[in-house]
């Protein structure tokens, strides 16, 4: 049986005594801290902290922890949350036609590497229905008109309805080749993760491998980031690159890129699921 943990993440204006106060609160209740990470963002003068606590070392459950912690959180003007490892986050995957990222995520889920529940997959194409349903996961097709904005708005409203209906915690755009409208970016801020097939901020938008090829770059990459109302400009979670040379074609770059995209998306999602990512404006603090 795996050990159960409560994960406490906090951010607040930086000042003396934060670590002592939080650790003291946990210690006075017999809590056993197994992992602790801290960071001060100097420019913002904001302090970030993540602590994992053995659930069986506390005399109360997560609900009681939250109730008792409120006073301390208010004293330090904290933004905070407490997660219970026994409650898996609910992941809703959005995909279009390219299946490499979806395939990788479902493999990691089936093997137990990615500890989430997947209540459904949503797509604007029918192509991957059989593959998804073979995994025993409900598949929802939502038509996405190319140039009809009212119909496109209705399609995204349906996606939001499905996400809320299955009580989704995080939405992953696994090569979902549509631009999410600003209202959904705001509504689910910090809860929608995209994989972009370039090393942002270089080559945002469409066909980044073609852009990279014509620019003659020697490195290509992929970026996992939260979406915002500015295209491909949301807070970055994880990135990686691979070296290329003058002999590589666009097709070669696409092939290399698929491997990077899968790895970068999986790492970024795992950091999110494990509550290792804290937002600081348009940046992230990632406690690996």
Token output for 274:
């494990």
| Residue 252 appears among annotated catalytic residues | no
Peptide bond into 39 cis (omega under 30): no
- 46's CB contacts (< 8 A; 6+ apart) are 11, 12, 13, 14, 40, 280
Given a contact cutoff of 8 angstroms between Cβ atoms, the answer to whether 130 and 209 are in contact is no
Q: Which residues contact residue 9 at a Cβ distance below 8 angstroms, ignoring those fewer than 6 apart?
A: 48, 49, 50, 80, 81, 83, 275, 278
> Catalytic one among 14, 99, 151, 232?
232
Contact 237, 227 (CB under 8 A): no
Catalytic residues: 232
């Amino acid at each position: 049986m795996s050990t159960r943990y409560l994960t406490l993440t906090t951010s607040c204006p930086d000042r003396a005594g934060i670590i002592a106060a939080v650790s003291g609160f946990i210690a006075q209740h017999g809590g056993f801290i197994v992992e602790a990470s801290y960071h001060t963002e100097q420019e913002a003068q904001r302090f970030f902290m993540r602590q994992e606590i053995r659930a069986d070392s506390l005399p109360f459950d997560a609900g009681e922890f939250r109730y008792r912690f409120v006073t301390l959180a208010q004293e330090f003007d904290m933004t905070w949350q407490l997660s219970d490892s026994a409650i898996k986050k609910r992941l809703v995957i959005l995909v279009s036609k390219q299946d490499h990222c979806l395939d990788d995520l479902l493999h990691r889920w089936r093997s137990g590497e990615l500890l989430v529940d997947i209540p459904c997959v949503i797509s604007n194409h029918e192509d991957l229905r059989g593959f998804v349903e073979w995994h025993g996961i409900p598949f929802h097709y939502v038509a996405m008109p190319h140039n009809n904005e009212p119909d496109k708005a209705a399609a995204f409203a349906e996606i939001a309805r499905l996400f809320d209906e299955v009580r989704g915690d995080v939405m992953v755009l696994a090569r979902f080749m549509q631009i999410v409208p600003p209202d959904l970016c705001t509504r689910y801020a910090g809860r929608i993760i995209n994989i972009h097939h370039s090393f942002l901020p270089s080559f945002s938008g469409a066909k980044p491998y073609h852009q990279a090829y014509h620019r003659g770059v020697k490195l290509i990459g992929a970026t996992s980031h939260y979406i915002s109302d500015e295209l491909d400009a949301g807070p970055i979670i994880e990135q990686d690159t691979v070296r290329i040379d003058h002999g590589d074609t666009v097709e070669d770059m696409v092939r290399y890129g698929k491997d990077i995209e899968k790895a970068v998306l999986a790492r970024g999602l795992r950091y999110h699921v494990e509550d290792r990512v804290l937002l600081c404006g348009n940046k992230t603090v990632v406690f690996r």
